[in-house]
Amino acid sequence: MFSTAPSGFRDDAVAELLAALRSMAPAGDDAGRISRLRALEELKAAAAALQASETAAFVASQRAAQAAAGIKPERVGRGIAAQVGLALRVSPHRAQRYVGWSMILTRELPETFAALAAGVTTEWRAQLVARETLFLSRDDRARVDAAMGPKLERLGDRAVEAQTRTLAYQLDPAGFVERARAAERDRRVSVRPAPDAMARLSALLPVAQAVACYAALGRAADSTTATGDGARDARGRGQIMADTLVERLTGQAAAPDVPVEINLVMSDRTLLGGDDQAAVLTGYGPVPAGIARRLITEANPRTPMWLRRLFRSPKTGELVTMESRRRLFTPAQRHYLTVRDQTCTTPWCGAPIRHLDHAEPTLEGGTTQLANGRGTCAACNYAKQAPGWHTTIRTNGHGREIVTATPTGHTYHHRSPDPPGTAPPGETERRRSTELIYDRKHDRKHGNAA
């Protein structure tokens, strides 16, 4: 994944600064090192302030250009944060939040912005001030800013958050309560990969419900520990709580009995035990070969399990494709695209796939085939519908590459993860050569003609 532009991502003034930093000699002693640490921290803060200022100016310019182009008012702004995200190498979700913070900081928090630009506070603490005053009117936000700005240099993260929140509540108690109520609408459940083939299942809940759920799991664990549970007595309290959660959510008598459909992509050598290359579990990522085989071979015999076999081309390394003349992808194609791309194909996004998109739109002659399909999250799919965005797909001997062009003329490249068993460029010929040498040695050893 990388990015280029017709004239490159080059700013001469910033390039000179970067060159000076990269060529700077190390400090001579520990006192000099500490002084340099402080100076570099101030430099980071000043850079963050300039970055926020440039972001706010870019957003204002893009919105004005879209409005002047006759874009419907409700669509003005679409795709702007996505461009910022690509430039910053962050996901569209983080970019959207960053854009909002930059607009508030530069326009409505002058004291906080001045402290950041002067290097006396950090970007995170400036973000805290903006976050804790979101529900306030502009005038009340200015009052909090005036009170907090001069104090930011001597306050830590927790103190900035607590004092800003206290001031905001004092100015608008009703708004503070309404914000808490509105936050309940954001309740959700999510799953994230964790090390060692584990995953984190998280729930964002109102505090009373979250505490009640945790207490219920704790009581169940304490009860199980007190009464004994046969062969499972060796489990710790945390393990029992985790198992109880799975059992209550799925309705199974025991956590290992949960039926599962596994989209596990692996090479035949990995499956049969002759190779230790990692497999890929859709929605999680790489899984060590031994664990992947265990998921298949050591499943509980009472547990239904479905395996889908996907094959890759020996020439390109891509998964075998299928196509359709329909405008909408078939269920099988949708399943294939989700397994192939794994996450949103916008660089640095990484969000779960929610939309299956035509790289070349059907209105422009794009076909409903997997070579023209890509998985995206909802935000990225909507962003590319803004004027000036264009997506193409390039193929070569090493696979398939998605090229995204933005309204500013910058381009960004993305490749779907290689399926397990795919040899890196040049590796196939090297492997064939190695196998040929081995065959010749084998023939000579057994007296066969060379």
Cα dist from 240 to 210, 216, 229, 235, whole Å: 18, 12, 10, 6
With pLDDT > 70 as the criterion, what percentage of the chain qualifies? 73
Quick: pLDDT tens for 96-118: 999 999 999 999 999 999 999 99
Structural domain spans, the chain: 29-183, 187-258, 331-415
CB atoms within 10 A of CB 291: 14
List the single range of 4-8, 144-148, 252-256, 283-287 with lowest mean pLDDT.
4-8
Task: Check pLDDT > 60 for residue 299.
Answer: no
Q: What is the mean pLDDT of the chain?
A: 80
Q: Which of 407, 415, 387 minimizes the C-alpha distance to 86?
A: 407
Q: What is the pLDDT of residues 1-31, one digit of tens each?
A: 444 444 456 788 999 999 999 999 999 899 9
Measured CA to CA, the distance from residue 39 to residue 17 in angstroms comes to 14
Higher pLDDT, 403 or 308: 403
More confident residue, 351 or 99: 99
Q: How far is CA 355 from CA 85, 317, 365, 379, 383, in A?
A: 19, 24, 19, 9, 12
The two tokens of residue 87 are 């430039």
Q: Find the Cα–Cα–Cα–Cα dihedral 150, 156, 161, 163, rounded to 10°.
A: -50
Q: d(Cα 149, Cα 168) in Å, to the nearest integer?
A: 14
Asked if the model's pLDDT at residue 160 lies above 90, the reply is yes
- b/e burial code for range 431-445 (CB count within 10 A of at least 16 → b): eeeeeeeeeeeeeee
Q: What angle do CA 368, 409, 105 make, to 5 degrees?
A: 110
**Rounded CA separation 418/410 (Å):** 25
Band of pLDDT at residue 88, cut at 50, 70 and 90:
very high
CA–CA separation, 384 vs 80, rounded Å?
10
* Lowest-pLDDT range of 278-282, 309-313, 426-430: 426-430
Per-residue pLDDT at 84: 96
**Cβ neighbours of 67 (radius 10 Å):** 13
